[in-house]
Amino acid sequence: MNKQKPKILFYIHHHGKGHLSRVQLLIPIIEKFAHVSLIIAQDDFLPAVKCALPERKIVTLPSKWSSSDVGKKRTFDTAFEGVPLSAQSTLRASFFVNHLQKEAYDGFISDVSAELTIYARGAGIPVLMQRHSGDISIDPTQVFAYQCANALYAPYPRQLEADDYAFFNKTYFLGSLVTSKNNSAHHYNGISIVHSDHEVINAICEALLPIELPITAIGSERSNLHHLDKITYYEQVSDITHSANTDIIFCSGGNNTLCELLAAGKKLIVIPEPRPYEEQTAKAIKLSDINAAVHLPKAELANGENIIKALKASNDIKTDTINDMFDTSSSSQWEQSFENLIREHFL
């Protein structure tokens, strides 16, 4: 008699496009061995999930916020401060645990949700949790979630992790989740900017246009940008490495953006966006420390000379370090790593 496939519940975080893009790659690997259901926490996220992952069962959690709680600033330094003491939070926790029991899941995958990781492990379900970079040590909720998880997986190479990270022993570093390496020989003169902050794009343009450097900008709304008549501009693209086809790129520190561009052999000047735990800044600092990119804080853009200096510093980036970090001689390396993780903890 064939053994029945296990049932896995996968929580998808709704902040940023990178989470859904990663899940699109990871779900088919799990489905080779298990039945997968999806759970989300925002009704307005449902259409995007249905489009990206059709014909999957999707459950939406009740909100934990009352009208008076919505918009309250998070501190990330107090245990469970993101879970209000309210009837809404009670309903959400009860709904989640009852759903685990009703469906009899064999495992739970948590896309960076400390709250759901703790609930699931407390309910006796094995948990894999995605690690986002940044310093979580000041946040007791995150620390406890990392302790609760059976294992953690990081969607980036080990070389990008901070040296003082406390959970190396239970973290699987998948490397760069890219389906192929861009080996195109077509590299164009000038620089590209991949960033959602119009202030960043405008500052770079003002510093570099006077030296007649061709500029391609991707990622911010047209209405906020200056100099559109002097640059090539795309609000959205389907393939960053195809559109940002210069050797040197100014970019944010988002995980998918960094991994895609580094895997394509680009020299990066990283201008991090603000995030909890300063996760973008953490990656930018680490890349700078190993001379694999230039870190340029946004505050320094006020002086155009700092942009020129960063551009010159990019010439000293060690391309060998980048190539070693993103060696994709086996394009299925991250797939095999994630498959091994699933086998070890859920099968």
Token readout for 58 is 């999707």
Which of 79-88, 108-117, 234-243 has the highest average model confidence (pLDDT)? 108-117
Of 88-92, 254-258, 259-263, 322-326, give the lowest mean pLDDT range: 322-326
pLDDT digits (tens, 9 = 90+) for 290-341: 999 999 999 999 999 999 999 999 999 988 888 888 765 445 688 999 999 9
At residue 180, the pLDDT reads: 53
C-beta of residue 234 within 8 angstroms of C-beta of residue 243: yes
Q: What percent of the chain has pLDDT over 70?
A: 94
At residue 76, the pLDDT reads: 87
Distances (CA, A) of 94 to 103, 124, 330: 14, 15, 44
Q: How far apart are CA 185 and CA 290, in angstroms?
A: 26
Start-to-end CA distance of the chain, whole Å, equals 17
C-beta of residue 153 within 8 angstroms of C-beta of residue 130: yes
C-beta of residue 153 within 8 angstroms of C-beta of residue 131: yes
Q: How far apart are CA 66 and CA 60, in angstroms?
A: 17
At residue 329, the pLDDT reads: 45
Residue 146 burial by Cβ neighbours in a 10 Å radius (0-12, 13-18, 19+): buried
Position 1 pLDDT exceeds 70: no
At residue 185, the pLDDT reads: 44
Category of 180 on φ-ψ map: left (φ > 0), alpha (ψ -120 to 50) or beta: beta
pLDDT digits (tens, 9 = 90+) for 127-153: 999 998 899 999 999 999 999 999 999
Position 69 pLDDT exceeds 90: no
For residues 106-113, average pLDDT: 97
Q: How far apart are CA 156 and CA 176, in angstroms?
A: 5
Q: How far apart are CA 181 and CA 162, in angstroms?
A: 25
3-state secondary structure of 221: coil
Residues whose CB falls within 8 Å of the CB of residue 15, separated by 6 or more in sequence, listed in order: none
Q: Which domains does the chain have, with CATH numbers?
A: 7-178+330-346 (3.40.50.2000), 188-325 (3.40.50.2000)
Position 12 pLDDT exceeds 50: yes
C-beta of residue 298 within 8 angstroms of C-beta of residue 286: no
At residue 238, the pLDDT reads: 81
CA-based torsion, 225, 15, 342, 287: positive or negative: positive
Please state, rounded to an integer, the average pLDDT across all residues of the chain. Answer: 91
> What DSSP line would sit under 178-217, residue for residue?
-SS-------EEEEEEE-S-HHHHHHHHHHHGGGT--EEE
Identify the DSSP state of 139.
-
Query: Alpha helix locations (H) across the chain?
Result: 17-30, 46-52, 87-103, 114-122, 140-148, 198-208, 240-243, 255-263, 279-289, 304-313, 319-325, 333-346
> What DSSP line would sit under 237-292, residue for residue?
-S-HHHHS-EEEEEE---HHHHHHHHHTT-EEEE-PPP-GGGHHHHHHHHHHHTTS
Q: How far apart are CA 264 and CA 260, in angstroms?
A: 6
Position 43 pLDDT exceeds 70: yes
pLDDT digits (tens, 9 = 90+) for 184-220: 444 568 999 999 999 999 999 999 999 989 999 998 8
Please indicate whether residue 67 or residue 225 has the higher confidence score (pLDDT): 225
Position 179 pLDDT exceeds 70: no
Q: How far apart are CA 186 and CA 165, in angstroms?
A: 38
Q: How far apart are CA 215 and CA 206, in angstroms?
A: 11
Q: How far apart are CA 213 and CA 207, in angstroms?
A: 10
Q: What percent of the chain has pLDDT over 90?
A: 74
